[in-house]
Structure 1
Protein backbone atom coordinates (compact mmCIF):
# COMPACT_ATOMS: atom_id res chain seq x y z
CA UNK A 1 0.00 0.00 0.00
CA UNK A 2 1.06 3.59 -0.74
CA UNK A 3 -0.29 6.76 0.83
CA UNK A 4 -0.95 9.82 -1.30
CA UNK A 5 -1.64 13.24 0.17
CA UNK A 6 -3.31 15.84 -1.98
CA UNK A 7 -3.00 19.44 -0.80
CA UNK A 8 -4.41 22.26 -2.88
CA UNK A 9 -2.61 25.60 -2.65
CA UNK A 10 -4.17 28.18 -0.33
CA UNK A 11 -6.31 31.13 -1.43
CA UNK A 12 -4.48 33.39 -3.88
CA UNK A 13 -4.60 37.11 -4.49
CA UNK A 14 -6.30 38.39 -7.64
CA UNK A 15 -5.77 42.13 -6.93
CA UNK A 16 -2.83 42.75 -9.30
CA UNK A 17 -4.12 42.17 -12.83
CA UNK A 18 -0.59 42.66 -14.20
CA UNK A 19 0.66 39.41 -12.65
CA UNK A 20 0.74 36.23 -14.66
CA UNK A 21 -1.37 33.44 -13.14
CA UNK A 22 1.83 31.58 -12.23
CA UNK A 23 3.07 34.55 -10.18
CA UNK A 24 -0.03 35.23 -8.06
CA UNK A 25 0.79 35.22 -4.31
CA UNK A 26 -1.44 34.20 -1.42
CA UNK A 27 -3.92 36.67 0.03
CA UNK A 28 -4.45 37.22 3.76
CA UNK A 29 -6.97 34.39 4.11
CA UNK A 30 -4.67 32.13 2.11
CA UNK A 31 -1.75 32.77 4.46
CA UNK A 32 -3.95 31.93 7.46
CA UNK A 33 -5.33 28.85 5.72
CA UNK A 34 -1.88 27.54 4.79
CA UNK A 35 -0.69 27.85 8.39
CA UNK A 36 -3.72 26.17 9.97
CA UNK A 37 -3.54 23.36 7.43
CA UNK A 38 0.19 22.91 8.06
CA UNK A 39 -0.54 22.29 11.74
CA UNK A 40 -3.33 19.87 10.85
CA UNK A 41 -1.14 17.95 8.41
CA UNK A 42 1.54 17.62 11.13
CA UNK A 43 -1.03 16.51 13.73
CA UNK A 44 -2.56 14.00 11.31
CA UNK A 45 0.85 12.29 11.54
CA UNK A 46 1.17 10.45 8.25
CA UNK A 47 4.91 11.04 8.10
CA UNK A 48 5.23 12.31 4.55
CA UNK A 49 8.49 11.23 2.90
CA UNK A 50 8.36 13.44 -0.19
CA UNK A 51 6.57 16.52 -1.50
CA UNK A 52 5.87 16.85 -5.21
CA UNK A 53 4.90 20.42 -6.00
CA UNK A 54 4.07 22.95 -8.65
CA UNK A 55 6.59 25.81 -8.62
CA UNK A 56 3.83 28.46 -8.91
CA UNK A 57 4.21 31.25 -6.35
CA UNK A 58 0.96 30.44 -4.54
CA UNK A 59 2.14 26.84 -4.07
CA UNK A 60 5.62 27.78 -2.88
CA UNK A 61 4.11 30.19 -0.36
CA UNK A 62 1.58 27.56 0.80
CA UNK A 63 4.42 25.09 1.43
CA UNK A 64 6.55 27.69 3.20
CA UNK A 65 3.76 28.77 5.56
CA UNK A 66 2.45 25.25 6.18
CA UNK A 67 6.00 24.03 6.86
CA UNK A 68 6.68 26.87 9.30
CA UNK A 69 3.44 26.12 11.17
CA UNK A 70 4.20 22.39 11.20
CA UNK A 71 7.83 22.86 12.19
CA UNK A 72 9.02 20.61 9.38
CA UNK A 73 9.00 20.18 5.62
CA UNK A 74 9.82 16.88 3.89
CA UNK A 75 12.13 16.95 0.85
CA UNK A 76 10.50 18.83 -2.05
CA UNK A 77 10.65 17.99 -5.73
CA UNK A 78 9.49 20.95 -7.83
CA UNK A 79 7.93 19.88 -11.12
CA UNK A 80 6.63 22.42 -13.64
CA UNK A 81 4.35 19.75 -15.12
CA UNK A 82 2.21 19.90 -11.95
CA UNK A 83 1.28 23.54 -12.67
CA UNK A 84 -2.33 23.35 -13.93
CA UNK A 85 -1.85 19.66 -14.80
CA UNK A 86 -4.70 17.31 -15.55
CA UNK A 87 -5.19 14.01 -13.75
CA UNK A 88 -3.38 11.95 -16.39
CA UNK A 89 -0.27 14.14 -16.13
CA UNK A 90 -0.33 13.99 -12.33
CA UNK A 91 -0.50 10.17 -12.49
CA UNK A 92 2.47 10.18 -14.88
CA UNK A 93 4.47 12.33 -12.43
CA UNK A 94 3.62 9.92 -9.60
CA UNK A 95 4.53 6.86 -11.69
CA UNK A 96 8.03 8.27 -12.26
CA UNK A 97 8.97 8.49 -8.57
CA UNK A 98 12.27 6.85 -7.78
CA UNK A 99 13.03 5.11 -4.52
CA UNK A 100 9.37 4.16 -4.04
CA UNK A 101 8.69 6.16 -0.85
CA UNK A 102 5.71 4.88 1.17
CA UNK A 103 4.08 8.31 1.23
CA UNK A 104 4.02 11.31 -1.10
CA UNK A 105 2.11 14.55 -0.75
CA UNK A 106 1.21 16.27 -4.03
CA UNK A 107 0.68 20.04 -3.84
CA UNK A 108 -0.82 21.89 -6.76
CA UNK A 109 -3.94 23.17 -8.43
CA UNK A 110 -7.50 22.43 -9.41
CA UNK A 111 -9.16 21.08 -11.42
CA UNK A 112 -6.33 18.53 -11.76
CA UNK A 113 -6.11 17.57 -8.07
CA UNK A 114 -9.87 17.16 -7.74
CA UNK A 115 -9.99 15.09 -10.94
CA UNK A 116 -7.13 12.94 -9.64
CA UNK A 117 -9.21 12.11 -6.57
CA UNK A 118 -12.18 11.22 -8.79
CA UNK A 119 -10.00 9.01 -10.99
CA UNK A 120 -8.30 7.19 -8.11
CA UNK A 121 -11.32 6.73 -5.82
CA UNK A 122 -14.16 4.69 -7.35
CA UNK A 123 -17.61 6.29 -7.42
CA UNK A 124 -19.28 3.29 -5.83
CA UNK A 125 -21.44 5.10 -3.28
CA UNK A 126 -19.33 4.01 -0.30
CA UNK A 127 -17.27 7.17 0.21
CA UNK A 128 -19.01 10.10 1.90
CA UNK A 129 -15.71 11.99 1.68
CA UNK A 130 -15.71 11.63 -2.10
CA UNK A 131 -19.20 13.12 -2.10
CA UNK A 132 -17.79 16.20 -0.32
CA UNK A 133 -15.05 16.51 -2.95
CA UNK A 134 -17.75 16.34 -5.63
CA UNK A 135 -19.26 19.48 -4.11
CA UNK A 136 -15.87 21.24 -4.13
CA UNK A 137 -12.22 20.69 -3.30
CA UNK A 138 -11.52 24.25 -2.10
CA UNK A 139 -8.24 26.07 -1.71
CA UNK A 140 -6.01 24.63 1.03
CA UNK A 141 -8.06 21.43 1.19
CA UNK A 142 -6.10 18.34 2.25
CA UNK A 143 -6.99 14.77 1.34
CA UNK A 144 -5.29 11.47 2.10
CA UNK A 145 -5.74 8.49 -0.19
CA UNK A 146 -4.71 4.92 0.56
CA UNK A 147 -3.65 3.27 -2.69
CA UNK A 148 -3.79 -0.46 -3.25
CA UNK A 149 -0.44 -0.57 -5.05
CA UNK A 150 3.06 -1.81 -4.19
CA UNK A 151 4.92 0.67 -6.40
CA UNK A 152 4.15 4.19 -7.59
CA UNK A 153 4.66 2.87 -11.12
CA UNK A 154 1.43 0.87 -10.63
CA UNK A 155 -0.86 3.84 -9.88
CA UNK A 156 -4.01 3.66 -11.98
CA UNK A 157 -7.67 4.61 -11.95
CA UNK A 158 -9.75 3.07 -9.19
CA UNK A 159 -6.84 1.95 -6.98
CA UNK A 160 -7.57 4.29 -4.08
CA UNK A 161 -9.70 4.90 -1.03
CA UNK A 162 -10.26 8.41 0.33
CA UNK A 163 -9.30 8.01 3.99
CA UNK A 164 -9.18 11.63 5.20
CA UNK A 165 -10.40 15.04 4.06
CA UNK A 166 -10.12 18.41 5.80
CA UNK A 167 -10.86 21.90 4.52
CA UNK A 168 -9.68 25.10 6.23
CA UNK A 169 -13.28 25.93 7.22
CA UNK A 170 -13.47 22.61 9.09
CA UNK A 171 -10.72 23.91 11.41
CA UNK A 172 -11.71 27.59 11.52
CA UNK A 173 -15.14 28.79 10.30
CA UNK A 174 -13.61 32.21 9.59
CA UNK A 175 -11.76 30.54 6.68
CA UNK A 176 -15.00 29.41 5.02
CA UNK A 177 -16.43 30.54 1.70
CA UNK A 178 -18.20 33.58 3.13
CA UNK A 179 -15.01 34.98 4.71
CA UNK A 180 -13.64 38.27 3.41
CA UNK A 181 -9.97 39.26 3.28
Structure 2
Protein backbone atom coordinates (compact mmCIF):
# COMPACT_ATOMS: atom_id res chain seq x y z
CA UNK A 1 0.00 0.00 0.00
CA UNK A 2 1.37 3.43 -0.84
CA UNK A 3 1.99 5.94 1.93
CA UNK A 4 -0.66 8.23 0.46
CA UNK A 5 -3.32 5.52 0.86
CA UNK A 6 -2.09 4.03 4.13
CA UNK A 7 -4.53 3.81 6.99
CA UNK A 8 -2.87 5.07 10.18
CA UNK A 9 -3.87 4.95 13.82
CA UNK A 10 -2.81 7.30 16.60
CA UNK A 11 -3.43 5.98 20.10
CA UNK A 12 -3.22 8.56 22.87
CA UNK A 13 -2.71 7.43 26.46
CA UNK A 14 -2.58 9.91 29.30
CA UNK A 15 -0.36 8.82 32.19
CA UNK A 16 -2.06 7.20 35.18
CA UNK A 17 -2.75 9.09 38.43
CA UNK A 18 0.43 10.64 39.81
CA UNK A 19 1.40 11.33 43.39
CA UNK A 20 2.42 14.78 44.67
CA UNK A 21 5.58 14.23 46.74
CA UNK A 22 8.09 17.03 47.28
CA UNK A 23 10.02 16.35 44.08
CA UNK A 24 10.30 18.27 40.79
CA UNK A 25 7.21 17.78 38.57
CA UNK A 26 9.17 15.75 36.00
CA UNK A 27 10.08 13.21 38.72
CA UNK A 28 6.59 12.67 40.21
CA UNK A 29 5.82 8.94 40.54
CA UNK A 30 2.47 7.22 40.20
CA UNK A 31 0.09 7.22 43.13
CA UNK A 32 -1.35 3.93 44.40
CA UNK A 33 -4.45 4.53 42.25
CA UNK A 34 -2.21 5.11 39.24
CA UNK A 35 -0.45 1.79 39.78
CA UNK A 36 -3.89 0.16 39.39
CA UNK A 37 -5.01 2.34 36.46
CA UNK A 38 -1.94 1.68 34.30
CA UNK A 39 -2.38 -2.11 33.96
CA UNK A 40 -6.10 -1.53 33.29
CA UNK A 41 -5.13 0.81 30.45
CA UNK A 42 -2.77 -1.89 29.16
CA UNK A 43 -5.62 -4.42 29.18
CA UNK A 44 -7.77 -1.92 27.25
CA UNK A 45 -4.99 -1.60 24.66
CA UNK A 46 -5.06 -5.41 24.34
CA UNK A 47 -8.85 -5.32 23.92
CA UNK A 48 -8.49 -2.77 21.12
CA UNK A 49 -6.30 -5.24 19.22
CA UNK A 50 -4.12 -2.57 17.61
CA UNK A 51 -0.69 -3.94 16.61
CA UNK A 52 1.34 -0.97 17.82
CA UNK A 53 4.48 -0.31 15.77
CA UNK A 54 5.97 2.46 17.90
CA UNK A 55 5.38 3.97 21.34
CA UNK A 56 6.58 7.50 22.05
CA UNK A 57 6.61 8.04 25.81
CA UNK A 58 7.25 11.26 27.69
CA UNK A 59 10.46 11.17 29.69
CA UNK A 60 8.60 12.10 32.92
CA UNK A 61 8.68 9.49 35.69
CA UNK A 62 4.87 9.10 35.79
CA UNK A 63 4.60 8.40 32.05
CA UNK A 64 7.53 5.96 32.08
CA UNK A 65 5.97 4.12 35.04
CA UNK A 66 2.54 4.10 33.35
CA UNK A 67 4.03 2.58 30.21
CA UNK A 68 6.07 0.01 32.15
CA UNK A 69 2.90 -1.23 33.90
CA UNK A 70 0.67 -1.01 30.79
CA UNK A 71 3.06 -2.68 28.33
CA UNK A 72 3.39 -5.66 30.67
CA UNK A 73 -0.20 -6.54 29.68
CA UNK A 74 0.60 -6.64 25.93
CA UNK A 75 1.75 -9.81 24.18
CA UNK A 76 3.85 -7.74 21.74
CA UNK A 77 5.98 -4.87 23.02
CA UNK A 78 6.32 -2.15 20.38
CA UNK A 79 9.57 -0.28 19.89
CA UNK A 80 9.60 2.43 22.57
CA UNK A 81 11.27 5.82 22.42
CA UNK A 82 11.37 8.05 25.49
CA UNK A 83 10.80 11.53 24.12
CA UNK A 84 11.65 14.64 26.15
CA UNK A 85 9.50 16.78 23.85
CA UNK A 86 6.33 15.00 25.04
CA UNK A 87 6.79 16.43 28.54
CA UNK A 88 4.84 19.69 28.88
CA UNK A 89 4.13 19.59 25.14
CA UNK A 90 1.82 22.12 23.52
CA UNK A 91 -0.60 21.15 20.78
CA UNK A 92 1.89 22.51 18.23
CA UNK A 93 4.69 20.39 19.74
CA UNK A 94 2.53 17.27 19.54
CA UNK A 95 1.50 17.92 15.94
CA UNK A 96 5.17 18.44 15.01
CA UNK A 97 6.09 15.10 16.64
CA UNK A 98 3.37 13.32 14.69
CA UNK A 99 4.60 14.75 11.38
CA UNK A 100 8.09 13.34 12.15
CA UNK A 101 6.79 9.77 12.50
CA UNK A 102 8.57 7.35 10.13
CA UNK A 103 6.41 6.28 7.20
CA UNK A 104 6.84 2.57 8.03
CA UNK A 105 4.81 3.15 11.23
CA UNK A 106 1.09 2.54 10.81
CA UNK A 107 0.04 2.37 14.47
CA UNK A 108 1.57 4.91 16.86
CA UNK A 109 1.06 5.23 20.62
CA UNK A 110 1.77 8.49 22.45
CA UNK A 111 2.00 8.34 26.25
CA UNK A 112 1.79 11.87 27.57
CA UNK A 113 0.15 14.53 29.68
CA UNK A 114 -2.79 16.86 29.81
CA UNK A 115 -3.70 19.38 28.60
CA UNK A 116 -1.80 18.20 25.51
CA UNK A 117 -3.42 14.77 25.09
CA UNK A 118 -6.92 16.24 25.25
CA UNK A 119 -6.02 19.14 22.96
CA UNK A 120 -4.48 16.79 20.40
CA UNK A 121 -7.44 14.39 20.36
CA UNK A 122 -9.86 17.29 20.05
CA UNK A 123 -7.85 19.03 17.32
CA UNK A 124 -7.34 15.94 15.16
CA UNK A 125 -10.91 14.64 15.40
CA UNK A 126 -12.72 16.09 12.41
CA UNK A 127 -15.22 13.25 12.77
CA UNK A 128 -16.09 10.72 15.47
CA UNK A 129 -17.85 7.40 15.82
CA UNK A 130 -20.96 7.46 18.01
CA UNK A 131 -20.69 9.70 21.04
CA UNK A 132 -16.89 9.35 21.40
CA UNK A 133 -16.18 13.07 20.93
CA UNK A 134 -18.94 14.09 23.34
CA UNK A 135 -17.55 11.71 25.99
CA UNK A 136 -14.00 12.98 25.37
CA UNK A 137 -15.06 16.60 25.76
CA UNK A 138 -17.18 15.88 28.82
CA UNK A 139 -14.44 13.91 30.60
CA UNK A 140 -11.53 16.27 29.89
CA UNK A 141 -9.23 13.25 29.22
CA UNK A 142 -8.59 12.04 32.79
CA UNK A 143 -5.64 9.94 33.92
CA UNK A 144 -5.17 6.63 32.07
CA UNK A 145 -7.73 7.62 29.39
CA UNK A 146 -7.21 6.32 25.84
CA UNK A 147 -8.27 7.83 22.52
CA UNK A 148 -7.85 6.17 19.13
CA UNK A 149 -7.81 8.27 15.98
CA UNK A 150 -7.54 7.06 12.40
CA UNK A 151 -6.53 8.89 9.25
CA UNK A 152 -5.22 8.10 5.77
CA UNK A 153 -2.11 9.47 4.20
CA UNK A 154 1.47 10.23 5.15
CA UNK A 155 2.40 11.34 8.66
CA UNK A 156 3.62 14.68 7.34
CA UNK A 157 -0.01 15.45 6.38
CA UNK A 158 -1.32 15.30 9.98
CA UNK A 159 -3.21 18.50 10.75
CA UNK A 160 -6.34 19.77 12.49
CA UNK A 161 -9.49 17.80 11.59
CA UNK A 162 -7.72 15.10 9.55
CA UNK A 163 -8.73 12.14 11.71
CA UNK A 164 -11.73 10.19 12.95
CA UNK A 165 -12.01 9.51 16.68
CA UNK A 166 -12.95 5.82 16.63
CA UNK A 167 -12.53 4.95 20.32
CA UNK A 168 -12.49 6.80 23.58
CA UNK A 169 -12.02 4.97 26.88
CA UNK A 170 -12.04 6.49 30.33
CA UNK A 171 -11.30 4.12 33.19
CA UNK A 172 -13.30 6.40 35.52
CA UNK A 173 -16.54 6.25 33.53
* TM-score normalised over the length of structure 1: 0.86
Q: Is the Cα contact below 8 Å between 1:140 and 1:167 reproduced in 2?
A: yes
Residue equivalent to 1:167: 170
Residue equivalent to 1:130: 133
Pick the aligned partner of 1:57 from 61, 66, 70: 61
Distance, in Å, in 1 between the alignment partners of 2:129 and 2:104 is 29
The alignment of Structure 1 onto Structure 2 pairs a total of residues equal to 166
Pick the aligned partner of 1:109 from 103, 110, 113: 113
Q: 5+ unaligned residues in a row in structure 2: which ranges? A: 1-6
Query: When you count strand as a share of all residues, which structure comes out higher?
Result: 2
- C-alpha displacement at 1:72, in angstroms? 3.8
Structure 1 residue ranges, 4+ long, deviating more than 6 angstroms after superposition: none
Pairing of 1:51-90 with structure 2 (within 5 A) = 51-90=55-94
Is 1:154 paired with 2:157? yes
Residue equivalent to 1:178: none
RMSD of aligned residue pairs (Cα, Å) = 1.6
Distance, in Å, in 2 between the alignment partners of 1:8 and 1:47 is 19
- 3-state DSSP of counterpart to 2:69: helix
Q: 5+ unaligned residues in a row in structure 1: which ranges? A: 171-181
Distance, in Å, in 1 between the alignment partners of 2:163 and 2:64 is 27
Q: Is the Cα contact below 8 Å between 1:4 and 1:146 reproduced in 2?
A: yes
Residue equivalent to 1:177: none
Distance, in Å, in 2 between the alignment partners of 1:50 and 1:125 is 24
Q: Is the Cα contact below 8 Å between 2:129 and 2:165 reproduced in 1?
A: no
Residue equivalent to 2:30: 26
Structure 1 residues 7-63: Cα deviation after superposition (integer angstroms, max 9, x where no partner): 00000001x1x2001000001110100011101101210111100110100000000
Distance, in Å, in 1 between the alignment partners of 2:93 and 2:159 is 12
* TM-score normalised over the length of structure 2: 0.90
- 3-state DSSP of counterpart to 2:73: helix
Distance, in Å, in 2 between the alignment partners of 1:58 and 1:72 is 22
